[in-house]
Amino acid sequence: MKYALLVHATPEYFEQRNDAAALAAGRAYGEALIAAGVFVGGAGLDGPQSTTTVTVRDGKRHVHDGPYAETKEFLAGFGIIEVPNLDAALEWAARHPLADRFSVEVRPLLGSHFSASAPKPA
């Protein structure tokens, strides 16, 4: 099963995310995912201030600065992992270095069009 780990953090996080300890913890986590053979893809994301949002309404394109909705927490990164079940996915979520301060949402991926090995939809 493929799961998305979606990391949500407050705006303050984006200002201090580059300290050495945080970077080392992030790298160690990524390396552990890869070494365990569960990593499919993922990345950290730049902050909400560098977000641009596009919508198309009634054939008209709208572009605005900032994220889709104003919230207290913003998507700070995502990872896609392939593990046998939700229990295993939760275990990896708990190991995420931001899990002790922010939150890591775990969601199953729907039958994926991006994966050659995924079963074709009926």
Cα separation, 28 vs 7, in Å, equals: 16
Cα separation, 1 vs 3, in Å, equals: 7
Q: Which is nearer to other proteins, 37 or 121 (CB)?
A: 37
> Which position among 15, 32, 64, 71 is part of the footprint of other proteins (CB under 8 A)?
32
CB 3, CB 108: distance < 8 Å: yes
Choose the stretch contacting other proteins; rule: CB under 8 A; options: 11-19, 30-38, 55-63, 114-122: 30-38
Cα separation, 85 vs 26, in Å, equals: 23
**Taking the complex as a whole, how short is the minimal distance between the CB of residue 122 and other proteins, in angstroms?**
26
- Residue 115 DSSP symbol: -
Instruction: Answer yes or no whether residue 29 interacts with other proteins by CB under 8 A.
Output: yes
Closest CA to 83 of 69, 68, 94: 94
**Taking the complex as a whole, how short is the minimal distance between the CB of residue 16 and other proteins, in angstroms?**
15
Q: Which is nearer to other proteins, 30 or 48 (CB)?
A: 30
**Binding residues for other proteins (CB under 8 A):** 21, 24-25, 27-33, 35-38, 86-87, 90-91, 94-95, 97, 99-100
